[in-house]
């Protein structure tokens, strides 16, 4: 019985020892687990802090990217607007360049025509000078022959009338080999009375046309024989080729036109030149030659063009009340 108790006591002690050992081991494991848990919690906390820091940095970077994108979008719009403006300015410059080139081409053509007209005028002047010299020599020769014949009486012609300029010659009136006679009407009568004008034209194919002006007047010498013509009608063009009212009369030595080129000298005769203008019925009389363009001939632009020289022209004036007077006589 005592042995059993002793044995039991020994077993209990052994069991207690084992239990204590197990408890101690368990306590050590728990301590290790707690330590490991603490370390993990610390690491988790550190990772959490690091994550928050990274999130803040990421948020800041996101904001910065957004700001840069907005800035980039603004710059792109600005660059696009500048490019559009530059394209418009470039297109405008190109258009202006083309217009200037066209204008330059027209001016070059005009200068060419003017040079051609000037050359023709110089040739005509040279030819006329030669004819004048030849005529003077012929007259001198004839006078010498007549003076040698005692039985023939010869009377020298009257002294040639001298005018102060071409305008004075036009004012006095003169004949050109029977082709036409131009004499300005009395200025006072022109101012007092109302006149109408009718211009008859004929080309070298015998086509005829006319231009009529219901009211026509010529100013005084002090007004440079200023032209007044209104209410156009006729078949020589839909528009009048006569210079506009208010245009002064120009001659080779009295230049009253609105052009620096002296139209009367270039066109070969006196006329109402505005800026040379579309007509000149006192131009040089040229025979028909379709292959040659004459800008200084007898021209009526809106009927036959600027370089077509006419065969015949007639300017006729009469009082506006002429028809009324005739009807009264009837």
* Domain presence at residue 192: yes
Answer for the pair 297, 281: CB distance below 8 angstroms, yes or no. no
Please state the rounded mean pLDDT for residues 49-69.
89
Residue 27 confidence (pLDDT) above 80: yes
Q: What is the per-residue pLDDT for 41?
A: 86
> Which of the two residues, 278 and 143, has the higher pLDDT score?
278
Give one DSSP letter per residue of 94-119, joined into a string. HHHHHHHHHHHHHHHHHHHHHHHHHH
| Per-residue pLDDT reduced to its tens digit, 173-188 | 544 443 434 444 444 4
Residue 209 confidence (pLDDT) above 90: yes
* Domain presence at residue 327: no
Classify residue 286 by its DSSP letter: -
The alpha carbons of the chain give a radius of gyration, in whole angstroms, of 57
Please state the rounded mean pLDDT for residues 151-156.
39
The band of 43, judged by pLDDT with boundaries at 50, 70 and 90, is: confident
* Domain presence at residue 152: no
* Domain presence at residue 330: no
Rounded-to-integer distance, Cα 216 and Cα 317, Å: 8
The answer on 238 and 118 residing in a single domain is no
Answer for the pair 299, 267: CB distance below 8 angstroms, yes or no. no
The band of 2, judged by pLDDT with boundaries at 50, 70 and 90, is: low
Rounded-to-integer distance, Cα 113 and Cα 146, Å: 48
* Domain presence at residue 291: yes
| Per-residue pLDDT reduced to its tens digit, 61-91 | 988 998 999 999 899 998 999 999 889 888 8
* Domain presence at residue 27: yes
Q: What is the per-residue pLDDT for 188?
A: 40
The answer on 141 and 272 residing in a single domain is no
Please state the rounded mean pLDDT for residues 128-148.
59
* Domain presence at residue 324: no
Mean pLDDT of the chain: 78
Please state the rounded mean pLDDT for residues 302-310.
86
The answer on 126 and 94 residing in a single domain is yes
Residue 328 confidence (pLDDT) above 70: no
Please state the rounded mean pLDDT for residues 110-119.
76
The answer on 136 and 186 residing in a single domain is no
The band of 165, judged by pLDDT with boundaries at 50, 70 and 90, is: low
Query: Could you list the residue range(s) of the whole structural domain that residue 18 is in?
Result: 1-146
The answer on 109 and 1 residing in a single domain is yes
The answer on 175 and 36 residing in a single domain is no
Residues in the chain: 330
pTM of the full predicted structure?
A: 0.46
The answer on 171 and 130 residing in a single domain is no
The band of 206, judged by pLDDT with boundaries at 50, 70 and 90, is: very high
Q: What is the per-residue pLDDT for 171?
A: 59
Highest mean pLDDT among 17-31, 241-255, 276-290, 310-324: 241-255
Rounded-to-integer distance, Cα 298 and Cα 50, Å: 105
% of the chain residues with pLDDT over 70: 73
Look at the block and give the residue holding tokens 């408890």. 23
Rounded-to-integer distance, Cα 145 and Cα 133, Å: 18
Q: Which of 10-19, 110-119, 169-178 has the lowest mean pLDDT?
A: 169-178
Q: What is the per-residue pLDDT for 135?
A: 61
Rounded-to-integer distance, Cα 152 and Cα 102, Å: 70
Answer for the pair 234, 208: CB distance below 8 angstroms, yes or no. no
The answer on 119 and 90 residing in a single domain is yes
Answer for the pair 301, 279: CB distance below 8 angstroms, yes or no. yes
Residue 190 confidence (pLDDT) above 50: no
Residue 192 confidence (pLDDT) above 80: no
Q: For position 249, which CATH number holds? A: 3.90.215.10
Answer for the pair 196, 211: CB distance below 8 angstroms, yes or no. no
The answer on 110 and 70 residing in a single domain is yes
The answer on 239 and 103 residing in a single domain is no
Residue 164 confidence (pLDDT) above 50: yes
* Domain presence at residue 58: yes
Q: Is the dihedral of CA 295, 296, 302, 305 positive or negative?
A: negative
Q: What is the per-residue pLDDT for 108?
A: 81
The answer on 278 and 211 residing in a single domain is yes
The answer on 225 and 126 residing in a single domain is no
If we measure between CA atoms, which residue out of 281, 295, 252, 273 comes closest to residue 116? 295
Domain count, the chain: 2
Q: What is the per-residue pLDDT for 223?
A: 92
| Per-residue pLDDT reduced to its tens digit, 252-267 | 888 888 888 888 888 8
């Amino acid at each position: 019985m005592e042995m059993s108790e002793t044995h039991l006591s020994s077993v209990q002690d052994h069991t207690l020892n084992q239990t204590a050992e197990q408890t101690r081991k368990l306590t050590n494991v728990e301590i290790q687990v707690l330590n490991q848990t603490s370390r993990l919690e610390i690491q988790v906390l550190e990772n959490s802090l690091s994550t928050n820091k990274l999130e803040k940095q990421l948020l800041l970077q996101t904001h910065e990217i957004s700001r840069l994108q907005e800035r980039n979008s603004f710059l792109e719009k600005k660059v696009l607007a500048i490019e559009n403006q530059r394209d418009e300015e470039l297109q405008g410059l190109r258009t202006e360049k083309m217009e200037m080139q066209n204008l330059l081409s027209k001016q070059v053509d005009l200068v060419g025509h003017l040079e051609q007209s000037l050359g023709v005028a110089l040739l005509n002047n040279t030819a006329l000078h030669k004819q004048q010299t030849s005529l003077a020599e012929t007259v001198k020769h004839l006078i010498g022959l007549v003076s040698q014949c005692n039985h023939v009486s010869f009377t020298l012609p009257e002294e040639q009338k001298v005018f102060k300029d071409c305008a004075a010659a036009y004012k006095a009136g003169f004949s050109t080999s029977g082709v036409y006679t131009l004499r300005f009407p009395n200025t006072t009568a022109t101012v007092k009375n109302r006149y109408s004008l009718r211009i008859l034209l004929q080309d070298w194919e015998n086509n005829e046309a006319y231009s009529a002006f219901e009211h026509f007047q010529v100013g005084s010498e002090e007004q440079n024989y200023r032209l007044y013509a209104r209410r156009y009608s006729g078949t020589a063009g839909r528009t009048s080729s006569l210079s506009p009212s208010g245009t002064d009369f120009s001659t080779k030595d009295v230049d009253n036109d609105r052009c620096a080129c002296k139209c009367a000298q270039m066109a070969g005769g006196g006329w109402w030149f505005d800026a040379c203008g579309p007509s000149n019925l006192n131009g040089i009389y040229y025979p028909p030659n379709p292959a040659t363009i004459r800008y200084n001939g007898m021209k009526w632009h809106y009927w036959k063009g600027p370089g077509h020289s006419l065969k015949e022209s007639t300017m006729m004036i009469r009082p506006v009340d002429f028809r009324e007077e005739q009807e009264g006589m009837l």
